[in-house]
Structure formats: structure tokens, C-alpha cells
Amino acid sequence: MNEFLKGILDGINSLLGNYGWSIIVFTLLIKLVLMPFDYKSRVGMRKTTKIQPQVAALQKKYANDKDKLNTKMAELYKKEGVNPLSSCLPMLLTFPILIAMFNAMRMVSNEHLVQQAFDILLGNEPVLENWLWIKNLWMPDSPFAAAWPDLNSLSLIPADIWQKALTALPAETVDALSGAVQSATGTVVSYEAFGTNAKATIEAIYNTMAAMPTYVDQVSTLPGFNFNLIITTVSVMKNFNGWFLLPLLSAGSQYLMTAMQPSQASGDAQQNSTNNFMKWFFPLFTLYLCFSYTAAFALYWVASNLIAMVQNWGINKYLDAKEKKAANAVAVEGKVK
């Protein structure tokens, strides 16, 4: 599944020539494929929300008799034709596809970062994948991240990606790469080296780059722009990769997504407190993820949330019209009788 979705993303990019726009189109296509599941989830959610007053009344009436409450709740669900799992089951079915989609984008990102590292080792300027204000989609959209790959981004790449990239290169290019690293650190870069000690090999590649004046200039920081955030210290880069807009948009759109969900307040104070906590937790967690991961991932998150909001708005408008039509039909039928 990962390779299949990666092939689709690469195919879209071959037509558009930019991975930023390709990710947006890719996300839209996936959302359209999953739309029937989203529709079923929305229908189930509306049914559950509609009976919340009755659920709250039962919870209040049988607060001291859990067995009786469960029985009455089951009777209510059966009478109203509501399946308690109807709103979450479709989302569980789509979850593996979303994970595969994320893995496909990560594979593309890793391949490009490896190629950029190899270009730097060979003394060439790496080919960066820019998009609007972002210089390199495969690095975080942040003034605290350089456009060129760093040790953290390279360390996250699995050994098999490095090995695959090496096998695709001519033998003389591999020798040149290994020679550059070996002369600087004493470490041989080879297919076998990544298989036996990938961490040390990646560190040797980074240390070799870090000794190159061109690389040092690209990843240097601005003097006086160091900030202590208690758990870590961040510095503004001289050639920073972005303006931190995508992480902020990710968190903001995530908050709007949560706010747009139907309110299902219950008589359970603990449950209500949990709901309020999650309303803020998810946006903050999203901000952290998109701050620390690639701009491509943050772009996907923003696109996914915006498309989902439009989708939900359209589905709700359709269901509202459908319910109104059904209610009018019932009213007309009542008048005829």
C-alpha cells in the first residue's frame, strides 16, 4: 500500500512538477476516495447527537442503577435506529489508508533528503524542493531550521532508504562519496555499513558535511537570536527554511475542525472535562508535530483539515436539506390525512 500511494504521489508530481502542489492534489484525491466513509460517519454522528437529550435524561434518571441505565440505553438506540459505533467505525476503516498515505510521503521525503546529502558530499549544491515561502519541503517550515538537511533529519531516515539510494548510483559515485567521508572521519560508506551500523555511518556523513565551508555557511545561526525554551534551546538560522506558517495553520485548522464537531455534552462531568481538554490538546499536539517534522507533512495536515472542513460543510448542508424534505413530506402527509 505504501509503495502504491507513493507511486501515485510521484505520478502527480511528474505532471505538476512540484511536490507542494502535488501533496495538495494527492490529499484531495484520497479525501474523495474516503468520502463515502466520512458520509456514513457524519450520518451516525448526527443520529447520536439528535438523541443526546434523551440520553441525558436517562443518565439522570438511572444515575444510581448502571444496569438499568444500560438496558434503557440499548432500548433507546434500538428504537431510534442508532448504532453507537456508527460514527467511529468508518473512521477506523480509513485509518490504515491514512497511515499508508503518511508513510508514502515519508518515503518521498527520505529519498530526497538522502539525495541532498549525497549532493553536498560531492561538493554540489543540493536540489531543494521549494513551495511558495518554503525553501525545502523536506525540512520543517521554521526560522529555527535550515533549508539544508541536518543531523536530526538524516538520523530519522531508515537504513534501507540509504542502501536503496546507494545501489542506484554508479560505482564511481559511490567511491567518491565513501572517499570523502573516509578522508574526513575514517568511516567507509557502503551498503554493508548501513546494514551493520547505520547510526554511526549517518553521523559520519553529517560530520563530513559539517566540516565543509559551504555547508557551515548554509546552516549557520544569526548571532543574538538564541532562545531558551526551558526544555530546549532554539536559534534563528541565517538561511532559515520557512516562516512557521504551516505549523500555525495546522494547529488553527485543527482547532476549527474540533470546534465544528457536533457538541455532545452529557451529564458526566468527567466526560465533559475530557472533551474540553481534547479540544485544546489536539491543536497543541499538531503544532508540536508540524514544528518538528517536515514542511511537506505540515502542508498535508493543513490541506487535509481544510478539505475535511469543506467536505463536512457540504455533507451537513445535504443532510439538512434531506431532513427538511423528509419533515415537509411528513407534514404534507399529515394534512392529507
Condensed to tens digits (0 to 9), the pLDDT of residues 190-226 reads 999 999 999 999 999 999 999 999 999 999 998 888 7
Which residue stretches of the chain are H helix?
2-16, 19-33, 35-50, 52-61, 66-80, 89-121, 151-155, 159-167, 171-185, 191-210, 213-218, 245-260, 269-292, 295-336
Does residue 186 fall inside a structural domain? Answer: no
Query: HSE-up of 61 (CA within 13 Å, CB side)?
Result: 12
What three-state secondary structure class fits 143? coil
Looking at the 3D structure of the chain, how many domains does it have?
1
DSSP class of residue 43? H
Q: What contacts 3, CB < 8 A, 6 or more positions away?
A: 104, 107
Spatial CA neighbour of 148 closest among 204, 203, 216, 201: 216
> Does residue 169 lie within any of the structural domains?
no
Q: Are 289 and 305 in contact, with CB atoms under 8 Å apart?
A: no
Residue 177 lies in a domain: no
Establish if 178 belongs to a structural domain.
no
In a domain, 161, yes or no: no
Interval 29-44: pLDDT, tens: 988 988 888 888 787 7
pLDDT, position 250: 93
224-239 burial, b if ≥16 CB within 10 A, otherwise e?
eeeeeeeeeebbbbee
All three cell numbers of 287, joined, read 503544532
Nearest CA to 86 among 39, 34, 27, 128? Answer: 39
Nearest partner of 31 among 303, 289, 272, 278, judged by Cα: 303
What is the pLDDT, as a whole number, of residue 83?
Answer: 73
- For helices 89-121 and 159-167, angle between their N-to-C axes, nearest 10 degrees: 50
Residue 175 covered by a domain: no
Is pLDDT of 267 > 60? no
Question: Cβ distance 44 to 87 under 8 Å?
Answer: yes
Q: For the segment 107-119, what is each residue's pLDDT rounded down to a tens digit? A: 999 999 999 999 9
Helices and strands, number each (H, E), in the chain: 14, 2
pTM of the model: 0.85
pLDDT at res. 263 = 54
Domain that holds residue 66: 2-150+219-327
48 has a pLDDT exceeding 60: yes
Instruction: State the pLDDT at residue 337.
Output: 58
C-alpha cell at 310: 469543506
pLDDT class of 97 with cuts at 50, 70, 90: confident
- Which tens digits make up the pLDDT trace of 310-330? 988 898 888 888 878 877 877
Any domain includes 179: no
Q: What pLDDT is attached to residue 93?
A: 64
In a domain, 156, yes or no: no
Residue bearing the bigger pLDDT, 2 or 239:
239
